Amino acid sequence: HLNQADFLAALDRGRLAGATLDVFEQEPLPSDHPFWSHPAITVTPHIAAICDPGSAAGQIAENIRRARAGETLVNAVDLSVGY
C-alpha cells in the first residue's frame, strides 16, 4: 500500500533516491499522473512476476519465430494504453 502524496514528497526531498513502479491503483496509469513525469520514477508495463525459465524460454523462442515471420508477438507491450 502506497500513500502517493507521501511517496512523491519523500522523492522530492531526497529521502528516497528513486523507484521503479509496476502496479497501480488505477490500471492503466492515467496519462496525466505525476508518476509519468517524475525524474526519479520509472514506470513499467505491469511486468513484475516470478519468471520460470522453462516457460519464458518457450515464449522467447516463439516470439523470435513470429518476428522472423512478420507476425504479431506474444504479450507485446501496447503503447496505445500508455505503456
- Reported as a pLDDT band with limits 50, 70 and 90, residue 12 is very high
C-alpha to C-alpha distance for 83 and 81, rounded to whole angstroms: 6
Task: Output the CA angle 26-29-31, nearest 5 degrees.
Answer: 135
DSSP 8-state symbol, 81: G
pTM: 0.62
pLDDT digits (tens, 9 = 90+) for 56-71: 899 999 999 999 999 9
